[in-house]
Amino acid sequence: MKLLTPLIAASLAGASLMHAAESSITSKSFGTTTNGVKVELYTLTNEKGASASISSYGGIVTKLLIPDRSGKFDDVVLGFDKLSSYEKKSPYFGALIGRYGNRIAKGKFSLDGETYTLATNNNGQSLHGGIKGFDKVVWQATPVVTKQGPSLKLTYTSKDGEEGYPGTLSVTATYTLTNKNELKLVYTATTDKDTIVNLTHHSYFNLAGQGNGDILGHLLTLKSGKYTPIDKVLITTGELTPVKGTPFDFRKATVIGDRINQENEQLKFAGGYDHNWVASKLPGHLGVVAKVEEPKSGRVMEVLSTEPGVQFYSGNFLDGTLVGKEGKVYPFRSGFCLEPQHYPDSPNHPNFPSVELKPGQTYKNTIIYRFSTKS
Ligand code: GLA
């Protein structure tokens, strides 16, 4: 293992050595892809001792160690021990998603009067960037220590026509584990031709610790009065539907499992929650879109974002067949995702906020997963 940055000595004045605070970035080999590309695994450790491991393959957060109310660290994200498992079959565990997070109906959209056909990989639809999305490419990684905490800058240039998308897209994703126990993700992108873009993050969280049962007892708050319903192939219908009086109303903290098995067409289509909520905040402004609390560990996670929507997915496709880290298995609904993003299938719904990016413009998206505890 290589230590890439000098340890930053923190102020120890008045503090016990047990809390000696230092932040660091280390790297080690995560193996070689089946195409022979070397992959590195970086570990960012902040002054509080929390750490995030990130793979240059797929920008994947493979491990996230966060303290509970008694100060005990647990890994709160699902994932694999080996690169080959991510390459073989991963339901986007911890991944950087692009060029377009979520589904585009039949993989088709038009822009400037031209129709584009994307790679389809999900029941005839295009999901999360297509067959070889940003979760399956190797990113250039540069570690940097910032004032906020240790950080990793990932860059990738997606060629014009990759997975069917127009324009050469130059993407930067900067992951910082701040000294306030926040995992902060900042994405920027530029293009040389009119195109569409919608980047997001796909960690499966279990605030009781990965492999520690299902997430149905977690309490969820979604600051949204509306959501975007889907059809039976999980494609957004284009409507914005009030959550009031439905199992989609999470405006007050509610246990995830409370209503998930209710008789409801939307829940039936997705096998649980797998929907986009319309964020109640000013567009483009960073604000809280979701909050999750796990009563036993006391861990709390707030999600802040600049994006107009957030996908809440209750891990309905997990079925216990994947063997995860430390041999843990991941049963039905044993992890949840909160993916801040633009609404699904936006290019085909002119009433949704635009996802177009033109030459000269810079796409920017900030997502923060902020951890704390509650007694
Ligand atoms: C997203 C989708 C889900 C599912 C998962 C991956 O969150 O919305 O339907 O495809 O990714 O399994």
Domain boundaries, the chain: 2-373
Name the residue among 159, 86, 345, 357 with its Cα closest to residue 238. 345
Name the residue among 318, 312, 372 with its Cα closest to residue 340. 312
Q: What is the pLDDT of residue 284?
A: 87
CA distance 59 to 43: 12
CA distance 97 to 82: 20
Between the CA of 312 and the centroid of ligand 1 the distance, in Å, is 9
Index of the ligand 1 atom closest to the CA of residue 202: 7
Is 302 considered catalytic here? no
Catalytic residue among 202, 218, 275, 342: 202
List strands edge to edge, sheet with 241-242: 241-242, 226-228, 274-278, 309-313, 337-341
Query: What is the widest separation between alpha-carbon atoms in the chain?
Result: 66
Q: What is the pLDDT of residue 7?
A: 43
Highest CATH level, class, for 2-373: mainly beta
For ligand 1, atom 7: residue with the closest CA: 313
Q: What is the pLDDT of residue 5?
A: 59
Q: What is the pLDDT of residue 23?
A: 93
Q: What is the pLDDT of residue 104?
A: 98
Q: What is the pLDDT of residue 282?
A: 83
Q: What is the pLDDT of residue 22?
A: 87
pLDDT, tens digit only, all 375 positions of the chain: 777 754 443 333 333 333 347 899 999 999 999 999 999 999 999 999 999 999 999 999 999 999 999 999 999 999 999 999 999 999 999 999 999 999 999 999 999 999 999 999 999 999 999 999 999 999 999 999 999 999 999 999 999 999 999 999 999 999 999 999 999 999 999 999 999 999 999 999 999 999 999 999 999 999 999 999 999 999 999 999 999 999 999 999 999 999 999 999 999 999 999 999 999 888 889 999 999 999 999 999 999 999 999 999 999 999 999 999 999 999 999 999 999 999 999 999 999 999 999 999 999 999 999 999 999
Between the CA of 195 and the centroid of ligand 1 the distance, in Å, is 23
Q: What angle do CA 224, 338, 121 make, to 5 degrees?
A: 115
The answer for residues whose C-beta is within 8 angstroms of residue 19's C-beta and 6 or more apart is none
φ, ψ (nearest 5 deg) of residue 91: -80, 45
For ligand 1, atom 12: residue with the closest CA: 91
CA distance 329 to 100: 29
